[in-house]
Structure 1
Amino acid sequence: MKETLISLSEYLELRQKLPILDARSEGEFSQSHIPEAINIPILNDQERKTVGTLYKEEGSEKATLKGFELVGPRFHQIQKEVIKRFPNRKIILYCWRGGMRSQILSWLLSMVGFEVFRLKGGYKTYRNFTFEEVRKKRNFIVLGGKTGTAKTVLLQHLKEAGEQVLDLEDLAHHKGSAFGGIGQDPQPSVEQFENKLAEALLQLNSDSPIWVENESRKIGRVILPDVFFSQMQASPHLDISKSEHERIAHIESEYAGLPKEELKQAVKKLRKKLGGLRTKEALEAIEERDHPRWIQNLLTYYDKAYEFELEKHPKEHTLNLDLTGLSLAKQIDLLIHSKDQLYERAKNTID
Structure 2
Amino acid sequence: MNRISAEEFYRESQGGTIIDVRSPKEFAAGHVPGATNVPLFSDEERAIIGTLYVNSGRNVAMEKGLEFVGPKMAGFVRTTNQILAEGSSEVTDSSEPGSDFTAYVHCWRGGMRSQSFAWLLDMAGIKVRVLEGGYKAFRRMAQRQIGRRHRMVVLSGLTGAGKTNFLELLREAGEQIVDLEGLANHRGSSFGAIGLGQQPTTEQFENRLFAAVQALDPKRRFWVEDEGSRLGRVVVPSRFVKQIRRSSAVFLDVAKEKRLDILLEEYGDLDHEELIDATRGIQKRLGGQNMIDAIKAIEAGDLRTAAEISLTYYDRSYLKGMSELPRASTLNLSTDGMCDADVVAKLIDAADEIENAAEPASVVSD
Per the normalisation by structure 2, the TM-score is 0.90
* CA distances 1:158-211 after superposition (whole Å, capped 9, x unpaired): 111111211111111111101111122421122211111111111223343221
Matches within 5 A, 1:1-16: 3-16=1-14
The residue that corresponds to 1:80 in the other structure is 78
From 64, 70, 89, the counterpart of 2:68 = 70
With 63-72 and 340-349 compared, the bigger mean Cα shift is at 340-349
Partner amino acid, structure 2, of 1:23: V
Computed over aligned residues only, the root mean square deviation of the Cα atoms, in angstroms, reads 1.8
Residue 349 of structure 1 and its aligned partner are, at CA, apart by 9.4
Matches within 5 A, 1:23-102: 23-87=21-85, 88-89=97-98, 90=101, 91-102=103-114
Say if 2:7 and 2:141, in contact at 8 Å, map to a contact too.
Answer: no
Partner amino acid, structure 2, of 1:45: D
Residue 270 of structure 1 and its aligned partner are, at CA, apart by 1.0
Matches within 5 A, 1:197-212: 197-212=209-224
Say if 2:248 and 2:327, in contact at 8 Å, map to a contact too.
Answer: no
The residue that corresponds to 2:129 in the other structure is 117
From 134, 140, 153, the counterpart of 2:152 = 140
From 239, 249, 252, the counterpart of 1:240 = 252
With 315-324 and 124-133 compared, the bigger mean Cα shift is at 315-324
Give the 4+ runs in structure 1 shifted more than 4 A.
none
> Within 2, Cα distance between the matches of 1:237 and 1:110?
52
With 232-241 and 309-318 compared, the bigger mean Cα shift is at 309-318
With 201-210 and 174-183 compared, the bigger mean Cα shift is at 201-210
Residues 11/257 of structure 1: CA separation in 2 closer, same or farther (3 Å cut) = same
Residue 299 of structure 2 is aligned to residue 287 of structure 1: yes
Residue 176 of structure 2 is aligned to residue 164 of structure 1: yes
Residues 327/17 of structure 1: CA separation in 2 closer, same or farther (3 Å cut) = closer
With 272-281 and 93-102 compared, the bigger mean Cα shift is at 272-281
Three-state SS of the structure 1 residue aligned to 2:104 is strand
From 20, 25, 33, the counterpart of 1:22 = 20
Partner amino acid, structure 2, of 1:80: R
Say if 1:155 and 1:165, in contact at 8 Å, map to a contact too.
Answer: yes
The residue that corresponds to 2:340 in the other structure is 328
The residue that corresponds to 2:229 in the other structure is 217
Residue 323 of structure 1 and its aligned partner are, at CA, apart by 1.0
The residue that corresponds to 2:90 in the other structure is none
Residues 348/56 of structure 1: CA separation in 2 closer, same or farther (3 Å cut) = closer
Three-state SS of the structure 1 residue aligned to 2:138 is helix
Partner amino acid, structure 2, of 1:61: N
> Within 2, Cα distance between the matches of 1:31 and 1:311?
37
From 294, 303, 306, the counterpart of 2:318 = 306
Three-state SS of the structure 2 residue aligned to 1:184 is coil
With 107-116 and 150-159 compared, the bigger mean Cα shift is at 107-116
> Within 1, Cα distance between the matches of 2:70 and 2:359?
62
With 292-301 and 272-281 compared, the bigger mean Cα shift is at 272-281
> Within 1, Cα distance between the matches of 2:217 and 2:48?
46
The residue that corresponds to 1:267 in the other structure is 279
> Within 2, Cα distance between the matches of 1:210 and 1:162?
10
With 109-118 and 303-312 compared, the bigger mean Cα shift is at 109-118
Three-state SS of the structure 2 residue aligned to 1:134 is helix
> Within 2, Cα distance between the matches of 1:233 and 1:345?
18
Residue 315 of structure 1 and its aligned partner are, at CA, apart by 6.4
Gaps of 5+ in 2: 86-96
Say if 1:172 and 1:222, in contact at 8 Å, map to a contact too.
Answer: yes
Partner amino acid, structure 1, of 2:214: L
Residues 220/8 of structure 1: CA separation in 2 closer, same or farther (3 Å cut) = same
Residues 342/86 of structure 1: CA separation in 2 closer, same or farther (3 Å cut) = closer
Residues 316/118 of structure 1: CA separation in 2 closer, same or farther (3 Å cut) = closer
Per the normalisation by structure 1, the TM-score is 0.94
Say if 1:4 and 1:117, in contact at 8 Å, map to a contact too.
Answer: yes
Residue 271 of structure 1 and its aligned partner are, at CA, apart by 1.5
Identity %, equivalent residues: 38
Residue 57 of structure 1 and its aligned partner are, at CA, apart by 2.3
Residues 17/196 of structure 1: CA separation in 2 closer, same or farther (3 Å cut) = closer
> Within 2, Cα distance between the matches of 1:313 and 1:338?
20
Partner amino acid, structure 2, of 1:27: K
> Within 1, Cα distance between the matches of 2:317 and 2:14?
43
